[in-house]
Amino acid sequence: MQTISIAIHGGAGTLVKGMMTPELEIQYKAALQKALDAGYALLEAGKTSVEAVEEAVKLLEDSHLFNAGKGSVFTAEGTHEMDAAIMEGKSLNAGAVSLITGIKNPVCLARDVMDKSEHVFMAGEGAMFFAKMHDYEIEDPSYFYDELRYSQWQEIKDTDTFQLDHSLKKDSKFGTVGAVACDQDGNIAAATSTGGMTNKRFGRVGDSPMIGAGNYANNETCAVSCTGSGEYFIRGVVAYDVSSLMEYKEYSLEKAADTVINERILKIGGDGGLIAVDAKGNIAMPFNTEGMYRACKSSNGTEEVSIYKGN
């Protein structure tokens, strides 16, 4: 019988335990649990892996705790530029958006690019025009305002400094969100969404919306969603690298994911983690940082909601 499974992440980085209050940890785990349960319920009801990962990521985007959607960080101009991607493994269809503003759920726009256009990747003004064509509401900037995000930006505003949201000196709100899933038909999918870097300039784009770098799905191998130092994940083509090790070296999902995160990306100076599933419903969630917000659930009885190594 086909195993159904889902894994989600809310970012990886230097999650210093001393900076995390018990109350905040409860909030993070509750937000992860809510997204996990919603995605898994769709899989149990016979819905597709694409529907499950989109719903899970939407709920993470709706939480101010994570750097995506509502919780997106501030750019150098004091705006919010968001990126997202989604891919399904059966036909390798994919959709991605970058440098978009005012969109409550960027993952939904990425899904519409995949399903309702001839293209894979849209950015900036063109992506916004596509959103308006499909009747997306443009949220007021106040929707995305968060006091902690604002104070993070104020610390480095008007400097040449930019930083990943999981930098050591920052409070405990970190990075990208993502989901991967395997449905009752053995089809897999991945989705990733992010608000980028605090104080980013020059239209910087990270790995999250790049198919093969931060997001990838192929029924023959795996579905992957990454989080971490985007520049390195782009250079390492990390999501596709996991797939390649499975395809060409016949690695298991766990071995391929572990090799990429704990050997290959470290070798070029990158830190972070990823979540992955294969078409048998196996799950891998490796990271080389102190922690990664993560959760998974499978019909084989596996269930986990964790932040640090070992919990």
The burial of 118, by beta-carbon neighbours within 10 Å (0-12 exposed, 13-18 middle, 19 or more buried), is given as exposed
CA–CA separation, 237 and 88 (whole Å): 18
> Per the structure block, which two tokens stand in for 30?
């509750």
Beta sheet of 215-217, edge-to-edge order: 215-217, 223-228, 272-277, 283-284
> Per the structure block, which two tokens stand in for 137?
């509401």
> What DSSP state is assigned to residue 2?
P
CA–CA separation, 259 and 253 (whole Å): 10
Contact 103, 138 (CB under 8 A): yes
Is 259 annotated in the active site? Answer: no
The residue annotated as part of the active site, out of 176, 198, 227, 289, is 176
Helix (H, G, I), strand (E, B) or coil at 266: helix
Contact 88, 49 (CB under 8 A): yes
Of 174, 205, 148, 187, the residue nearest 287 (C-alpha): 174
CA–CA separation, 305 and 284 (whole Å): 13
CA–CA separation, 26 and 307 (whole Å): 11
> What DSSP state is assigned to residue 252?
-
Task: Annotate 83-145 with DSSP letters as a single string.
Answer: EEEEEETTT--EEEEEEE-S-S-HHHHHHHHHHHSS-SEEEHHHHHHHHHHTT-----GGGG-
Catalytic residue numbers, as ranges: 176
